[in-house]
Amino acid sequence: MNTIVDGVLGSLRTGAGDAMRNMQADDRQGYIMALDAGTTSVRAILFDEYGMKVAQAQRSLTMVYPNPGWVEQDPVEILSRQIACMIEVQFKTGIHSDRIRAVGITNQRETVVVWDRRTGQPIYNAIVWQCRRTAPIVDALVADGYADLIRERTGLIPDAYFSGSKIKWILDNVEGAREMADAGELMCGTIDTWLIYNLTHGQVHATDYTNASRTMLFDIHKLRWDDELCGILGVPRSMLPEVRPSAGDFGRVSSDVMTHHPPIAGVAGDQQASLFGHCCFEPGNVKNTYGTGCFLLMNTGEEAKLSQNGLITTIGIAEGGHIEYALEGSVFQAGSTIQWLRDELGIIKTSAETCDIARSIPDNGGCYLVPAFTGLGAPWWKPDARGLVCGITRDTDRAHLVRAACESMAYQTYDILRAMEADAGRPIKELAVDGGASKNDFIMQFQADLLDLEVVRSEIDETTALGAAYLAGLATGVWEDRAELASMRRSAARYSPSMDAPERERLLAGWREAVRRAIA
């Protein structure tokens, strides 16, 4: 192998730590490119055949806020920056498309693009998942009595978050769009579909089951677009992409972008890709991503469990000829609470220092912070609740507030996981974690103590991109089966519970009382 390339690879390789294994990895020929089309940035990441990250290129995305609560992005910017990353990562490593065996895509979910079938040009900006403009559309659906139908067929709780109402908005508000849609002249899709369509030069208009399950238009039991829901939301079936398994054939990257046009062979929404990247292959396996908010997904196997606790039922994994469902719950305020300490209260300088500050005191001193800044989500569902700090005494200082903020991520996660266990009817064995705040050893140890479970952080930071790479690699025979993927899994840290039961109960009782007050 070219020594310059070796040198580049050596300096770019991250997280390996095992020199012997790296040398072997350099000798291997094949790589997988994962495209991680996130909300704030797009990336192209190269993984070797050991599932190790070799290099990445990243570009940030511009957010457009045309009105309060509205969030958009330019679909052409998403595409062109994604392609720029694909090209940059090849040139900076010397690993070109002749050695890239497959491409996987993972994406911000629910965000939609509508484009002209004839020209391929978007007729409006992408409406981003966070955008609240379609809340009145969803309120009207609920008022018309469709909530149960939506829930039964799609597993979702009707919300502006999901794609269907966003497509309807574009058709209703862009001049001429409705007529074009009715005439079959428009196409639509989530960001995976938009990328696939353009990377294949318009040859493939497809999505995968996980992304389809976030639209409020897809029957997750019958595994097809639901004509009745499409009718209710006024979305013609002719606009919608074909739905395919997450590991499979999504065409080839056109030679305009990659000379040797590798196959696009893995596609999944970001949270589902993360579930797969963590090798959560068994029913009861759970992952939590600790970012700005927390996203929890539990594999529930081949049974779609409807939640009694306000969790969402979604398609978790569509690989290997069958569908595995998942329960999903999210914590609205997680890392954002740490940002609040830094930006609004000014009592910390960096997120990372919260770990040492929290550890500088022996316990929370009875102080709890319920970060219900925008209400409380699952399993409480109290949109009118507001944040509070309670249990303050004359001894309470900055460390108590910081500790209470850190602990609040673990308490909220605890509440969702217990709800998931109840809904799934099976206990959780361990918790796989990723995301920025999962680097905080204090929070992870406290989480393990609260749950009385092992918490495991994976060696690869980019579990989401890794999941997309795994799917693409399975579809193209780079890896034989899931057992091979599981054998490559390496954890960076493992936190074992060490709190006794009475202490755990005492802390949880304090948290429940704080939540009760926040709701009251």
- In the complex, the residues that contact ligand ADP under the rule CB under 6 A are 291-292, 335-336, 338-339, 351-352, 354-355, 435-437, 439-440
**Angle at which helices 191-199 and 75-93 cross, to 10°:** 60
By beta-carbon proximity to ligand ADP, the closer residue of 350 and 393 is 350
Q: Is the dihedral of CA 412, 286, 440, 294 positive or negative?
A: negative
Dmax (CA) for the chain in angstroms is: 70
- In order of 13, 281, 334, 438, the CA distances from 292 in angstroms are 27, 26, 6, 11
CB of 93 closer than 8 Å to CB of 30: no
For residue 417, which amino acid is it?
A: L
Q: Which residues of 272-285 are buried (b: 16+ CB within 10 A; e: fewer)?
A: bbbbbbbbbbebbb
Six token digits for residue 344: 């609004």
Cis amide bond preceding 379, omega within 30: yes
Q: How would you label 290-309 residue by residue, b for 16+ Cβ within 10 Å and e otherwise? A: bebbbbbbbbbbeebbebeb
- Shortest distance, position 368 Cβ to ligand ADP, whole Å: 17
Q: Are 217 and 205 in contact (CB under 8 A)?
A: no
In the three-class reduction of DSSP (H, G, I as helix; E, B as strand; rest coil), residue 56 is classed as strand
By three-state DSSP, how is residue 31 classified? strand
Q: Give the alpha-carbon dihedral of 333, 334, 335, 340, to 10 degrees.
A: 50
**Smallest gap from residue 463 Cβ to ligand ADP (A):** 11
Structure tokens at 295: 């996203």
Tally the C-alpha atoms within 13 A of residue 249's C-alpha that lie toward its C-beta.
Answer: 2
Closest approach of ligand ADP to the CB of residue 108, in Å? 10
Q: How far is the CB of 380 from ligand ADP (least distance, A)?
A: 21
Cβ proximity to ligand ADP: between 164 and 377 the closer is 377
Helices marked H in 144-291: 147-154, 163-173, 177-182, 191-199, 209-212, 227-233, 270-277
What residues are paired with 104 via a beta bridge? 34, 266
How far apart are alpha carbons 285 and 291 in whole angstroms? Answer: 20
Q: How far is CA 497 from CA 83, 370, 377, 435, in A?
A: 44, 23, 26, 21
Decide whether 164 or 435 has the Cβ nearer to ligand ADP. Answer: 435
- In the bound state with ligand ADP, the residue whose beta carbon lies nearer, of 341 and 469, is 341
Q: What angle do CA 273, 279, 283 make, to 5 degrees?
A: 100
Taking the least distance from each CB to ligand ADP, the nearer of 90 and 330 is 330
Nearer residue to ligand ADP within complex by CB, 245 or 435: 435
- DSSP secondary structure, 430-489, as one string: EEEEESGGGG-HHHHHHHHHHHTSEEEEES-S-HHHHHHHHHHHHHTTSS--HHHHHHH-
The radius of gyration of the chain's CA atoms, rounded to the nearest angstrom, is 23
- Encoding tokens for residue 508? 């949880």
Please, is 435 exposed, middle or buried when counting C-beta atoms within 10 Å of its C-beta (0-12, 13-18, 19+)? buried
